[in-house]
Amino acid sequence: MSIIDGRAVAKKIRGDVKSKIAGLGFQPGLAVILIGDNWESKLYIEQKEIACKEVGIQFFLHEFVSSVEINEVISLIQKLNADRKVQGILVQLPISVSLDLIKIQEAIDPWKDVDGFNPINRGLLFSMAKKASLETMIPCTPAGVMRLLEEYEVDVNGKNVVVIGRSNIIGKPLSYLLLQKGATVTICHSQTKDLKFHTQNADILVCAAGQEALVTAEMVKKGAVVIDVALNRVTDQSKKGYHIVGDTDFEKVKSKASLITPVPGGVGPMTVAMLLQNILKASLIK
């Protein structure tokens, strides 16, 4: 069994992005919109700010209280769409309030949509097409998973891949990317009747359900590649008061798997690295 080192791969990508940004001749900017108060979103934003500064991207944070009206958010996005200092725009998820996310994501200029969540970019991804002559923006976490598989020379062609989770951010786009590479993809979710029936047949198992200890060793085929995308907060006696775990019972599952991502230190750093890559991509658009 080997443990996938997402931090090392992400570091390599950040170094590559940094040198390409230095050659751009201008400093790109990322605008991040935070709506309401959510611990997970704040954690992601902290990591994104550190990474942007490290590679030479300006970071602009725009915060809204949870009582904000959707029109205020859309009006900010319209300003950012026209702002030449801003090459990338994203709304950090999850948001703790009920707003029409599709309307918000639709307002972001598809060329500045570094999350790949605008319906145009989603449509291009699902139809496996390109935008003009450029690659479309691929959502960061799915892109990070694909890059990790590539780095560790895991060929997905013809493999049985089970993805647990059908979110718009991870499960659905990742399933399409895997399908594009020739995998046979099964998407499982909260309504799946017998999860083990599916997982035990997976050559590659992707866990993105957000449920601590959901995947036990008995559910994993010997020699499988296990990619744990989830972030679950578990309270403990530490100074911080919690620690982060994924969806797998890591210690037991790792003895069955041939390759496995830890949480933290697996997919998480890759999400941020792929965001930087998307900002670079957006910065190259004239």
Annotated binding site for NADP(+): 165-167
130 is catalytic: no
In the set 87, 92, 105, 277, the catalytic residue is 92
Which phi and psi (to 5°) does residue 92 adopt? -70, 135
Q: Going residue by residue from 91 to 130, which x/- string records binding to ligand GUN, judged by CB under 6 A?
A: xxx---------------------x---------------
Under the criterion CB under 6 A, does residue 140 sit at the interface with ligand GUN? yes
Under the criterion CB under 6 A, does residue 228 sit at the interface with ligand GUN? no
Choice between 114 and 215, CB closer to ligand GUN: 114
Cβ 6 to ligand GUN shortest distance, Å: 14
Choice between 169 and 279, CB closer to ligand GUN: 169
Cβ 115 to ligand GUN shortest distance, Å: 5
Partnered with residue 242 across adjacent β-strands are 235
Cβ 145 to ligand GUN shortest distance, Å: 12
Residues 53-82 that bind ligand GUN (CB under 6 A): none
286 is catalytic: no
79 is catalytic: no
Under the criterion CB under 6 A, does residue 90 sit at the interface with ligand GUN? yes
Cβ 2 to ligand GUN shortest distance, Å: 26
SS3 120: helix
Q: How many helical (H) and strand (E) elements, i.e. helices and strands, does the chain have?
A: 10, 11
Q: Specify burial of residue 285 (Cβ count, 10 A radius: 0-12, 13-18, 19+).
A: exposed
By residue count, the chain amounts to 286
**Which residue type occupies 221?**
K
Annotated binding site: 165-167
User: Could you tell me which residues come within 8 angstroms of residue 53 by beta carbon, excluding any fewer than 6 positions away?
Assistant: 59
Under the criterion CB under 6 A, does residue 188 sit at the interface with ligand GUN? no
In the set 112, 113, 115, 221, the catalytic residue is 115
| Cβ-based neighbour number of residue 250 at 10 Å | 20
Packing angle, helices 6-22 and 39-55, rounded to 10: 50
**Which residue type occupies 51?**
A
Under the criterion CB under 6 A, does residue 44 sit at the interface with ligand GUN? yes
Choice between 114 and 188, CB closer to ligand GUN: 114
- Residue 227, CA distances (Å) to 2, 129, 135, 178, 237 in order: 12, 26, 25, 13, 28
Under the criterion CB under 6 A, does residue 141 sit at the interface with ligand GUN? yes
Residues 143-172 that bind ligand GUN (CB under 6 A): 169
Segment near ligand GUN (CB under 6 A); pick from 88-96, 155-163, 173-181, 196-204: 88-96
Cα-trace Rg, the chain: 19
Q: How far is Cα 70 from Cα 62, in angstroms, rounded to an integer?
A: 14
Q: How far apart are the first and last CA of the chain?
A: 46
Number of residues engaging ligand GUN in binding (CB under 6 A): 11
- Binding site residues, ligand GUN, CB under 6 A: 44, 90-93, 115, 139-141, 169, 271
Catalytic center residues: 48, 92, 115
